[in-house]
Amino acid sequence: MSGTTIRLKGCRKAFSDGTVAVHDLDLTIEAGETLAILGPSGCGKTTTLRLIAGLERPDVGQVFFGDSDVTRLPIERRDVGMVFQNYALFPNLDVAGNIVYGLKVRGVSPAERTKRCSELLELVGLQDHGKRSIHELSGGQRQRVALARALAPRPRVLLLDEPLAALDAQLRERLRSELAQLLRGLGITAVFVTHDQGEAMALGDSILVMEHGRVAQLASPRDIYQQPANAFVARFVGNLNAFSVIEHTPHGLKVSGGELPWNGADLPATVYCRPEHLRVMDSEGHLHGRLVGQFFQGAQSRLLVDVGAAQPLLVDSTDSAIHAPGSLIALAVEPQVLFTLSS
Ligand SMILES: Nc1ncnc2c1ncn2[C@@H]1O[C@H](COP(=O)(O)OP(=O)(O)OP(=O)(O)O)[C@@H](O)[C@H]1O
Ligand SMILES: [Mg+2]
């Protein structure tokens, strides 16, 4: 299986009630890449996926697969596989029947169907489940059957709309990493819709964050997290500490609770960092405050430290030390983890 480059050029989609679901979207997904589309409910994720699938036609703009303009091609002529949130398997067919359904329709020979079915069962880890009926499967197994079914015709493009949303947290996390590995191994071009930032980070080679039908940012998971384009993206993908700058000093920024190191040429009014980038020190630090809360979260603890600003600082620490309430906490921060935001 090999993927194709997908390109959306100035795509706009409005519905009859006047809702503009997607505004002038320009987007390129490289062959073999997995793009995660992330954003709050109603921001246009599914509509974007449906434009790529051929289930919606843009009012304006074009969709290209490689060099060919597929804007007017319906889904059955686009060579795409799709997996939805709610499996949509055929309950009257067994697992194997579901997987080969699309092959039968396409006139693939019985021998070839059997061969491909066993390859796919193995790929999704359901070797011994071909003869099972759908209601004898767990949610995670059903989702794998849906994936195998979508992959059976060897599509150039795989589209997934919140395929893990119906699963419990633990299974979700496991399937998430399995799916990430599988997609990389297949070399297929994939678009994965989710409103879960952890899922987008784990699965996407790049992430498209959408807000009100527009691109808020398109970048690698690392850049989305560490260099968010604006406050919306920054807050959507994780927790933030905001520091109001009181004064610029020769080597830093004076803020409530101390002085932050700063190498930037610009002199911002507010700088930000993620909770895990504040380090608890034995004595000396850039910032000092009082502990006002501590929450054990398993692999890490979250501390709330009052430095005299409007909000206590959030500090995520993997150090399991327990501090007495009200004790003095010293925090250090590296200048490179501080960032600024346009609103
Ligand atoms: N068939 C339709 N008719 C009218 N409006 C629609 C239709 N489909 C979607 N919309 C509207 O377009 C906007 C984008 O919808 P879309 O389904 O793409 O959002 P989404 O990001 O997938 O949301 P969710 O996370 O809730 O699935 C919403 O305001 C929605 O109400
Ligand atoms: Mg949706």
Whether residue 1 is predicted with pLDDT greater than 60 in this model: the reply is no
* pTM for this predicted structure: 0.87
Q: For 226-266, how does the pLDDT look when each residue is reduced to its tens digit (9 = 90+)?
A: 889 999 999 999 999 999 999 999 889 999 999 999 988 88
Q: Please name which ligand lies nearest the alpha carbon of 195.
A: 1
Task: Please name every residue paired with 281 in a beta bridge, in sequence order, or none if there are none.
Answer: 330
Establish whether residue 47 lines the binding site of ligand 1, counting it when its CB lies within 6 angstroms of any ligand atom: yes
Ligand with the closest atom to the CA of 42: 1
Contact by Cβ (8 Å): 255, 246: yes
Domain ranges in the chain?
6-236, 241-337
- Pairing type for strands 287-296 and 328-332 reads antiparallel
Residues 6+ apart with CB under 8 A from 66: 4, 5, 31
The closest residue, in CA terms, to atom 26 on ligand 1 is 41
Is the CB of residue 21 below 6 angstroms from any atom belonging to ligand 1? yes
Please tell me the distance between residue 48's alpha carbon and the centre of ligand 1 in angstroms: 10
- Report the separation in Å between the CA atom of 236 and the middle of ligand 1, taken as the mean of its atom positions: 19
- Is any atom of ligand 1 closer than 6 Å to the C-beta of 255? no
Residue 263, helix vs strand vs coil: coil
- What CA–CA distance (Å, rounded) separates 194 from 192? 7
Cβ of 38 less than 6 Å from ligand 1: no
Task: Determine what percent of the chain falls in helix, strand and coil, rounding each to the nearest 5.
Answer: 30, 35, 40
Looking at domain 241-337, its CATH class is mainly beta
Q: How confident is the model at residue 87, as a pLDDT?
A: 63
Residue 343 has pLDDT above 80, yes or no: no
Over residues 327-335, the mean pLDDT reads 96
Mean pLDDT is highest, among 62-71, 114-123, 221-230, 320-329, for 62-71
How far apart (Å, rounded) are the C-alpha atoms in residues 262 and 159?
43
pLDDT digits (tens, 9 = 90+) for 105-133: 888 999 999 999 999 998 888 989 999 99
Q: How confident is the model at residue 214 (pLDDT cuts 50, 70, 90)?
A: very high
Ligand nearest to the CA of 43: 1
Tokens of 167: 């699963």
Centre of ligand 2 from the C-alpha of residue 44, in Å: 7
Chain-wide mean pLDDT for the chain?
92
6-236: CATH topology = Rossmann fold (3.40.50)
Nearest atom, ligand 1, residue 48 CA: 18
Q: Whose CA is nearest to atom 27 of ligand 1?
A: 41
Q: Percent of the chain at pLDDT above 70? A: 99
| Residue partners of 315: CB distance under 8 A and separation at least 6 | 275, 278, 280, 302, 303, 304, 305, 329, 331
Give the tokens for residue 200. Answer: 């987008």
Determine which residue's CA is closest to atom 12 belonging to ligand 1.
21
| pLDDT score, position 106 | 87
Tell which atom from ligand 1 comes closest to the C-alpha of 213: 14
Beta bridge partners of 339: 272
What is residue 88's predicted lDDT score, i.e. its pLDDT? 79
What distance in angstroms lies between residue 15's CA and the mean position of ligand 1's atoms? 9
Confidence of residue 164 (pLDDT cuts 50, 70, 90): confident
The answer to whether residue 273 scores a pLDDT higher than 70 is: yes
Number of the ligand closest to the Cα of 16: 1
Give yes or no for residue 142 CB within 6 A of ligand 1: no
Of all protein residues, the one whose alpha carbon is nearest to atom 25 of ligand 1 is 41
Residue 204 CA, ligand 2 centroid: distance in Å? 17
- Please, which residues have CB within 8 angstroms of residue 214's CB and are 6 or more apart in sequence? 23, 24, 25, 44
